[in-house]
Structure formats: C-alpha cells, structure tokens
Amino acid sequence: MIAGFLYIIMAGHIYVIFLVAFLQVLTFRELANVRFKAVKARHVPMFRTIQWCWFSVAMFYVYSDGLQAFLKETQYGHLFASLQDFLSFSLYSSLFCITVLSFKKGFYKYQMQQLAWTFITIFMIVFQMKFAIENIKAGLFWFLLPCSLVICNDCMAYFCGKAFGHKLINYPFMKISPNKTWEGFIGAYLFTCIFAFVYPLVLVKSDWLIYSLADLTKDTSEALVKDPVFEPKTYEVPAAIGGLVGIKQIRMLPVQMHSVLLGMFASLVAPFGGFFASAVKRAYDIKDFDALIPGHGGIMDRMDCQFIMAMCTGVHYTTFIRPKSPCSC
C-alpha cells in the first residue's frame, strides 16, 4: 500500500488529485452506510440514488475549476467557463426538487435525518478536501507535509501512550476516547513539533515536490523560480535566548517555521477529527467504518484527522505564504 502511494506521488500532481477524488468516493460510501437502514430504505423511493446524486453535484462544483482548466485548450473551454456556475446551480436546484418530491408519508423523520447526515458528510469529505486539491496544485510539498504531520502525531500518541500512559497524569483524558491518555497527547505534541521542524529539510531535496502544478506545466524554456520559503535565510536569535544557548544567529528555511505551526495544529486540533469519528462509531455502535484495510478498518478510520488538517494547510498557505491579492473595488 505504501509502495502504491509513493508510486502515485512520483507520477505527479494530476494522479494525486485523482487519488484524493477516489478516496473521497470511498469515504462517502463508508459514512453513508453508517446510518443506512435497509428495512426503511426499501420503502423510500430513490433513497441511495439521491444520496449519491448530492455527493456527485458537490464533487462537480468543487472540481469544475479543474475541469475548466483541462478544457481551456479545447473548443468547449470558453463555453464551459461561461456556463460553469449555471451548470452547478442547475444541477443543485433540480436535485433539490427531486429530493422534496421523494418525501414519503410515514418516513419524513427518517428522510430528514438521512438528508442532514448526507449534507454533514458532504461538507466533511468534499468541501474540506477542496483545500487538499488546492494544496496539491500549489505543490506536492503542501500535500505530503500535512499528511505526514498527522501520521507522525497519530503514531507518537500511540507509542507515548503505551510507554507512559496513566503513569505521570492520573486525570482522565476524554471519555469519548478512553484509550487516549494525556501522556500520549502531550508526548505526540512534542515529537510532532520536532518532526515538523526537520521533515521539510527532507522534502525540499526533491525539487519537483516544491514546484506548483502551474510551474511544471510551463514552457520548459522558462526557468523555474523557487519559492522564497524554500530558500535558506539567517535569523537573529533574541538576546534573552541567545545568551542562554550561546547562539546569536540561526540559518534555516522559512518553511520550517510554517511547518512547526502546522505541526502544532496537527497535534492540538486535528486529533479532534479522530474524536469526532469515535463519537460517530459509539453513537451507532460500530467498531470500524469498514473492513477495507485489514487490521485498520476503513478509509475514514485512517482519514478522520486529515480533513481539517488539509483545510488548515490551505488557509495557512493563502494567508501567510501566498496571500491572495486584495480586491481593488
């Protein structure tokens, strides 16, 4: 599985985007099945069809920008660009009417609950992961880094919990996840921050990871310009700290500081995605979301913390690294 993932990464940005889209489909299937009740669903017209139609419309809306870029060199490119929002709205409004027409007496409550769950699932899987697509287009570095930070935090929480759990802090962590410990949470935070500082030095050794999709699709005669965050820079160490450690200056990559901030988020906030997933499993009395990955459950069991992490990375990138131009109205 790891070898397959690395092969897709080496294949390039477009293949990674297709991988994310495929994982979105599998994850939606798992979450849609959580509340599925076959006995009731048999009496509801187009029950599963409508669920998947809502997911498809959301995916079309999110990926339509990419489709527009793909079609821009064809005879249909300009037409699609001009009708893009209209097509999305037409699909949405048509499906809205079909959904209302599908309501059946005696099943209103069940249908409303399913519809609400479908919309929550779509928000989590489709709209949060839209940031993952933007991260990939900005450079595979911005896809691999947050994914690796979450994986590091998850692994370190397990090992620190096993080694020190309930030995230093007796106060319970979270009732929703009784197997988690304060020692695991704090230990994972420390190790993830260290990993976040060092890991960018590994990734930047591969130039093709740090260039954006737009850069790599330019005319090969144009020289690629490396983003300043990947260029070493000398920083002055505050006197109070420098006097203690005997260092006045430090030379590092600016992206290392950004990575540490993302590492802090991966340690303090992203785990709540896992806590939310635990709450869902407890609410519906299931051990795993699926049995797709032997010994690990389903895709959602592995991706629960990645959604909000991808969103954080996208927001951080557009706010602090590549701010969007202010509106000149």
pLDDT tens digits for range 44-102: 778 889 999 999 999 999 988 877 766 666 777 777 778 888 999 999 999 999 999 99
Domain count for the chain: 1
In a domain, 285, yes or no: yes
At 327, is the pLDDT very low, low, confident or very high (cuts 50, 70, 90)? very low
Per-residue pLDDT, averaged over 253-264, amounts to 97
In a domain, 64, yes or no: no
In a domain, 204, yes or no: yes
Specify whether the CB–CB gap between 188 and 153 falls below 8 A.
Answer: yes
In a domain, 116, yes or no: no
In a domain, 275, yes or no: yes
In a domain, 172, yes or no: yes
Task: Write the DSSP symbol of residue 297.
Answer: B
In a domain, 150, yes or no: yes
- Please provide the average confidence, as pLDDT, over all residues in the chain: 88
Q: Buried (b) or exposed (e) across 204-239, using 16+ Cβ within 10 A?
A: beeeebbbbbebeeeeeeeeeeebebbeeeeeeeee
How far apart are alpha carbons 241 and 264 in whole angstroms? 21
Using one digit for the tens of pLDDT, what is the confidence trace for 270-301? 999 999 999 999 998 888 898 888 777 889 98
In a domain, 112, yes or no: no
How far apart are alpha carbons 265 and 181 in whole angstroms? 18
State which residues form the domain around 266.
2-34+128-321
